[in-house]
Amino acid sequence: MPAKKSPQTDRARLQELDALFRLGGLVHSPHKKAAPGPGNGISARKKSAGMVKQPQGDSMPAPKKPSKQNPGPEILCIPQWTKYSWLVHGFSTRSGGVSTVYQPGVRKPGCGELNLGFTAADSRDNVERNRELFVQALLGGAAQKVRPGQAKKVQLRLLRQIHSGLVHRTSRCVNENSGPAEPLRGDGWIATEPGALLGIQTADCIPVLVVDVRQRIVAAFHAGWRGTLARIAERGVGRLRAEFGSRPRDLTAAIGPGIGPCCYSVGEEVRMEFASQFCYADTLFEEVFDLDPIKEKYPMLFLTARAPGHSNLGPSLHLNLAEANRRQLLDAGIAQTKIHRLNLCTACGKNRFFSHRAEQGFTGRMLSAVGIRP
């Protein structure tokens, strides 16, 4: 998928054009500045279609309050899940770690970011330390106090994510030596053992967590567009029901932060793929007119002799990945009222979240995790 233009590039292009026109003695009349769209400042939803809508959570996250001395990781939780004292869950953000490589602006000592993925630019030591901080913050967040040594009994399990529909079940025996040397390839996990903590790495893709509150079973899924197309969430819940005997009324799900329909432009081929799989595919896509500051200021430069509707200045296609996953959870039998969405766009909120799209690929990874307290 092509990388989006950055607002910096747009500004530079606009300044170049301005200078060129000034050179020719052409000074532009005072122009009302276009309001920046969500996220990158160049994309805005078509107002007439009632699309100007910042995602609002139907389940507002409850961030943990860090102390002033040690800010610690900011973890988002599902308020409806905090009553289960045996359950550990949370969605990380950028803040509260030791990484500085992706940090914009001035680096303050002791105020790093929480990159939780082994990326090329960050050091392994930083990521390992960040993961420790993340697990400690998760365990400390529920009603139950962290007992000494409890963090050591928790094993954070991560997959080699491949944008597939593959769902694994963790082994029954979870201790420090039982984990596979190489992470399993796949995009979904199911666990029943106390101490298992399932993690999904994302930087725009949608993390989906599912819990069977009666049997104390947890599951985590990674849903980018390919995984969503492969019905990772629907298949995962299907396995819970078929193999573990989960009853739909005992299941609850959470959809974490990911790129929103405001910022996720995709190609026509993605719409065609979805149309071949889902009868409701049309409801997942919207045509959005991107605001281009250069086209706004110098529209005459873009006049073409083509018939209306035949130029390449048309709307772009945006996909609502979170909604696609919500539909799958509904189809799998989970009640609407038990599907909780944070509705936070990682690209709009790139100062709070790592966003692959908004940061042109140079970014860290967040973790969404769910587990059973040891």
Rule CB under 5 A: which residues touch Zn ion? 38-39, 260, 262-263, 345, 347-348
- For Zn ion, which is the closer residue by CB, 97 or 260? 260
Q: How far is the CB of 290 from Zn ion (least distance, A)?
A: 12
- For Zn ion, which is the closer residue by CB, 37 or 374? 37
What letter would DSSP give residue 147?
A: P
Q: How far is the CB of 203 from Zn ion (least distance, A)?
A: 14
- For Zn ion, which is the closer residue by CB, 154 or 322? 322
Distance CA(144)–CA(139), nearest Å, equals: 8
Distance CA(374)–CA(372), nearest Å, equals: 6
Q: How far is the CB of 293 from Zn ion (least distance, A)?
A: 18
Distance CA(203)–CA(301), nearest Å, equals: 36
- Please provide the DSSP assignment of 140-157 as one string: HHSSSPPPTTHHHH-EEE
CB 74 within 8 A of CB 96: yes
CB 100 within 8 A of CB 112: yes
Placement of tokens 């007119």 in the chain? 289
- Please provide the DSSP assignment of 161-201 as one string: --SS--EEE--S--STTTS-SSPPBSSEEEE-STTEEEEEE
Distance CA(374)–CA(371), nearest Å, equals: 9
- For Zn ion, which is the closer residue by CB, 38 or 227? 38
- For Zn ion, which is the closer residue by CB, 38 or 188? 38
Pair of tokens at residue 120: 């090329």
Q: How far is the CB of 355 from Zn ion (least distance, A)?
A: 9
Q: How far is the CB of 263 from Zn ion (least distance, A)?
A: 3
Q: Please tell me the number of Cα atoms within 13 Å of 276 on its side-chain side.
A: 7
Q: How far is the CB of 187 from Zn ion (least distance, A)?
A: 23
Pair of tokens at residue 39: 């996220």
Q: How far is the CB of 362 from Zn ion (least distance, A)?
A: 19
- For Zn ion, which is the closer residue by CB, 251 or 288? 288
- For Zn ion, which is the closer residue by CB, 210 or 263? 263
Q: How many residues belong to the chain?
A: 374
- For Zn ion, which is the closer residue by CB, 44 or 233? 44
- For Zn ion, which is the closer residue by CB, 55 or 112? 55
44, 45, 34: which is closest to 11 by C-alpha?
34
Placement of tokens 């979805």 in the chain? 274
Q: How far is the CB of 42 from Zn ion (least distance, A)?
A: 12
In the chain, what is the straight-line distance between the N-terminal and C-terminal CA atoms, in Å? 42
Q: How far is the CB of 37 from Zn ion (least distance, A)?
A: 9
Within 156-306, where are the H helices? 225-229, 232-244, 268-275, 293-297
- For Zn ion, which is the closer residue by CB, 348 or 367? 348
* Residues 143-162: b if buried by 16+ CB within 10 A, e if exposed: eeeeeeebbeebbbbbbebe
Q: How far is the CB of 160 from Zn ion (least distance, A)?
A: 28
The amino acid at residue 329 is L
Pair of tokens at residue 258: 């990911």
